Amino acid sequence: MNNFEITVPTTIVFGKDQLAQVVKQIHKHYDGQKLLVLYGGGSVERSGFLDRLKDALSSFERHFFKGIEANPEFETLMKAVEYIREHNIGFMLAVGGGSVIDGVKFISGAVNYAGDPWEVLQRKPGTEFTSAVPFGCILTIPATGSESNSGAVISRAELKEKRTMGGPLFFPKFALLDPTFVATLPKRQLANGVIDAFMHTMEQYLTYPSGNLLQERYAEGILSTLIEIGPKVVEHPEDYKLASNLMWCANQALNGVLRCGVATDWATHMIGHELTALHGIDHAQTLAIVAPRLYELKFENKAEKLAQYGRRVWQLEGSDREVAAAAIRNTEAFFHTLGVKTRISEYTTDYMETPAIVKQRFTERNWLKLGERQDLTLGKKAL
């Protein structure tokens, strides 16, 4: 088992009818009055939730910022940064999915940053966010795990770029996980949530046997649960049992616990982010495109773990190689049962230049060796 360190400081409040807990949590972390609620394109207005939230927060001086896009956009987030500076906001409440929560993480760091915050996302030497406006969140879509981790992914459309950031400053103070939000999600977002949670687990599992037996069983538990509930929750998002299991799986898949003591891959995500930046394909869809092909490409390196995955998660039988190959086929078929396509040509016709652009970007960033063995290189077959 590898050495590890873990801190998971975000308080999780799980379940329905818990708005009073949100107010208590804010008071616990903020003794001022000025609160900014940030949300996305309006799903929380349409569901009537925002009105209930306004009532619950009536003891605060409430401000609102609407319009954080899916794949949160730098320009929009900078408007929120200006608003916070102008109005002296002391606490933020993110109401939404990974995009709103990630956006709020970025805003929280950018508010007190003197230079151009894009430099920090570019990882220019000597640049970093050194303080963060405290924030909590209300999760409306189970997928990313952003509600209790410290990472964020920010897009800049004019540059067709998507950049990551993070660090201990950016853990939400608390997260409300209310599965009743799942009921209003469109099928596409439900399938995205299942696949993102599945792939977060795979990135921290489908490597090589780690010696951390508990973590491997834990990952297999999440994968098995997602296979069991995934297709059902896409059809019946109003089913509280299904919805709550999806929400908890998605949270557990990326709250930091799975990575303890094990090797991690993350190459599917790094390539996938470029497909979103270049083609606007949904995050989870990019993972469904990249992962099966990446597992085929790295079959020899991953064969041992693929066989373990095939036997324990898919109950497959046969030789190691047969089981490993069938496990990849089952994974791709699972994505199909969720209604998600796994070929880039099914999303765009404009992909011929994509490998060259990705290769150039990874070269500029010195991302020359990816994967758990640092052996996924930019050779001709890298994509």
Q: Which residues bind ligand NZQ (CB under 6 A)?
A: 40-44, 70-71, 96-100, 102, 140-141, 143-146, 149, 151-153, 181, 184-185, 189, 192, 196, 254, 269, 283
Q: How far apart are CA 166 and CA 4, in angstroms?
A: 18
* CB half-sphere exposure, 348, CA atoms < 13 A: 16
User: Least CB distance from residue 377 to ligand NZQ, whole Å?
Assistant: 23
Q: Choose between 98 and 136: whose C-beta lies nearer to ligand NZQ.
A: 98
172 or 310: CB nearest ligand NZQ? 172
Query: Whole-angstrom Cα distance, residue 7 to residue 9?
Result: 6
* Beta carbon nearer to ligand NZQ, 283 or 302: 283
At 144, phi and psi to the nearest 5?
-85, -25
Minimum gap (Å) between residue 96 Cβ and ligand NZQ: 5
By a kind-dependent CB cut-off of 5 to 8 A, residue 136 interacts, out of Zn ion, ligand NZQ, none, with none
How far is it, in rounded angstroms, from Cα 181 to Cα 367?
A: 38
CB of 249 to Zn ion, least distance (A): 13
> Is the CB of 196 or the CB of 274 nearer to ligand NZQ?
196
Q: 71 or 308, CB closer to ligand NZQ? A: 71
Which H helix or E strand runs over 198? helix 187-203
CB 232 within 8 A of CB 289: no
243 vs 220: CA distance, rounded Å: 19
Min dist CB 200 to Zn ion, Å, is 6
Q: How far apart are CB 253 and ligand NZQ at their closest, in Å?
A: 10
- Smallest gap from residue 254 Cβ to Zn ion (A): 7
148 binds, among Zn ion, ligand NZQ, none (CB under 5 to 8 A by kind): none
Q: Please tell me whether residue 196 binds Zn ion under the rule CB under 5 A.
A: yes
| CB-nearer residue toward ligand NZQ: 106 or 218 | 106
Task: Report in angstroms how near the CB of residue 131 gets to Zn ion at its nearest.
Answer: 27
149's contact among ligand NZQ, Zn ion, none, with CB below 5 to 8 A by partner kind, is ligand NZQ
Number of residues that bind Zn ion (CB under 5 A): 1
Neighbours of 317 (CB within 10 A): 10
**Closest to 170 (Cα-Cα) out of 10, 313, 359, 6:** 10
Q: How far is the CB of 114 from Zn ion (least distance, A)?
A: 31
Question: For the stretch 4-32, what's the b/e string if a residue is b when 16 or more beta carbons lie within 10 angstroms of its beta carbon?
Answer: eeeeeebbbbbeeeebebbeebbeeebee
Question: How many CA atoms, within 13 angstroms, populate the side-chain half-sphere of residue 189?
Answer: 19
Residue showing the smallest CB distance to Zn ion in the complex: 196
At what angle are helices 213-235 and 299-314 packed, to 10 degrees?
70
Secondary element (H or E) of residue 283? helix 283-297
Q: What is the CA radius of gyration of the chain?
A: 21
Containing 356, the helix (H) or strand (E) segment is helix 354-364
Q: Which does 254 bind (CB under 5 to 8 A by kind): Zn ion, ligand NZQ, none?
A: ligand NZQ
DSSP class of residue 40 equals -
Nearer to ligand NZQ, 33 or 348 (CB): 348
Residue closer to ligand NZQ (CB basis): 147 or 372: 147
Q: Name the residue with the smallest CB distance to ligand NZQ.
A: 40
3-class SS at 165?
strand
Interacting residue ranges for Zn ion, rule: CB under 5 A: 196
